[in-house]
């Protein structure tokens, strides 16, 4: 009798409801290392009950110490960002879980294939951005010359700007923006977020001081409800960040609703991460 034909596992996408279960319960196999990452980041596959996906695994043991964030907390902050993203309904962060792996506990996140040629950032030789673009600020381009760094006036980016203000993202670089072929936009690398002190650093300052959209205000109201003492988002965040950081997140949501505008860059902290892309 011949051996039964092996059925290849079915690929799971970031939008599949089963993605989080696959990440949390599947068998994790390391395929290689992502060398440009500042902390240990491993490219893996995960398989479970006939389903398979590519993912990124960042073990806590591979996190570099930071002066302004407690050691061993970056993976939890990445998962916390996913929980907030889910609570917004915007789906801005790929499915992300905290789990054990070949090198101990760590963050495991679905791999996102980006669309080639998607233009979200640009340098222009002008004093003002053109139509469809928002100014970030001047950037040195060599030989004493500067150009204007701009980002697209894109509703997906605007949602991400609101999200970053809520989670106090200290590192929104261009390389952390992942547009896909089906028109979605994901943000990744949220390990330095949720600090109780104001540390917002981002490229997405184009809407600074402008009124929040009605959609954003509605989402912020939902977040405020979810962040009450007995709220579901508070419960989801409790194992991942500190009580003081949850309180600070709640306060940032309240502040955004009170002012009704996108935040302005602070003066005590560099407003744009380095390198920006």
Q: Where are the domains of the chain?
A: 10-110
Output helix, strand, coil percentages for the chain, rounded to the nearest 5: 30, 25, 50
Mean pLDDT computed over 163-181: 95
- The whole-angstrom separation of Cα 177 and Cα 173 is 7
Helices (H), 137-183: 155-167
pLDDT at 141 over 50: yes
The 10 Å Cβ neighbour count of residue 272 is 18
- The whole-angstrom separation of Cα 113 and Cα 157 is 18
Which tens digits make up the pLDDT trace of 123-133? 898 888 989 99
- Angle (CA) 85 166 230, round 5°: 75
Band (pLDDT 50/70/90 cuts) for residue 266 is: confident
pLDDT at 64 over 50: yes
Q: Give Cα 105 to chain centroid, integer Å.
A: 20
Mean pLDDT computed over 180-190: 94
Integer angstrom CA distances of residue 195 from 30, 190, 221: 31, 11, 22
Q: What is the pLDDT of residue 263?
A: 96
Place of tokens 């409800």: 225
Q: What is the pLDDT of residue 10?
A: 62
Sign of the dihedral defined by the CA atoms of residues 246, 61, 52, 160, in that order: positive
Torsions phi, psi for 54 (to 5 deg)? -85, 145
- Answer yes or no: are the C-beta atoms of 110 and 78 closer than 8 Å: no
- Answer yes or no: are the C-beta atoms of 86 and 80 closer than 8 Å: no
Which tens digits make up the pLDDT trace of 39-58? 899 999 999 988 999 999 99
Helices (H), the chain: 19-25, 74-88, 155-167, 214-226, 232-237, 243-259
The token duo for 59 is 């073990």
pLDDT at 7 over 50: no
Counting residues of the chain whose pLDDT is more than 90, the rounded percentage is 73
Q: What is the pLDDT of residue 231?
A: 98
Place of tokens 């390389």: 175
Which tens digits make up the pLDDT trace of 76-98? 999 999 999 999 999 999 999 99
Burial pattern 146-180, b for ≥16 Cβ within 10 A else e, equals: eebbbbbebebbbbbbbbbbbbbbbbbbbebbbbb
Sign of the dihedral defined by the CA atoms of residues 245, 250, 251, 256, in that order: positive
């Amino acid at each position: 009798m011949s051996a039964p034909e092996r059925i290849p596992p079915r690929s799971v996408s970031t939008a599949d409801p089963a993605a989080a279960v696959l990440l949390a319960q599947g068998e994790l196999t390391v395929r290689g290392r992502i060398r440009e990452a500042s902390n240990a980041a491993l490219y893996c596959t995960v398989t479970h009950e006939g389903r398979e996906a590519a993912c990124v695994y960042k073990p806590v043991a591979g996190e570099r110490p930071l002066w302004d964030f407690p050691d061993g907390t970056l993976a939890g902050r990445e998962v916390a960002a996913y929980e907030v993203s889910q609570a917004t309904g915007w789906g801005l962060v790929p499915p992300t879980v905290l789990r054990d792996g070949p090198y101990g506990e760590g963050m495991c996140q679905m791999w996102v294939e980006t669309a080639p040629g998607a233009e979200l950032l640009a340098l222009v030789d002008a004093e003002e951005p053109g139509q469809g673009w928002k100014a970030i600020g001047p950037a040195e381009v060599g030989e004493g010359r500067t150009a204007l760094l701009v980002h697209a006036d894109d509703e997906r980016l605007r949602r991400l700007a609101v999200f970053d203000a809520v989670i106090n993202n200290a590192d929104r670089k261009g390389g952390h923006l992942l547009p896909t072929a089906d028109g979605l936009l994901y943000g990744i690398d949220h390990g330095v977020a949720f600090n109780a002190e104001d540390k917002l650093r981002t490229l997405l300052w184009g809407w600074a001081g402008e009124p929040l959209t009605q959609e954003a205000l509605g989402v912020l109201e939902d977040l405020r409800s979810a962040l009450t003492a007995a709220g579901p988002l508070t419960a989801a965040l409790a194992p991942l960040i500190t009580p003081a950081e949850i309180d600070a997140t709640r306060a940032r949501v309240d502040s955004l609703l009170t002012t009704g505008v996108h935040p302005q860059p602070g003066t005590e902290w560099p407003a744009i991460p380095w390198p920006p892309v």
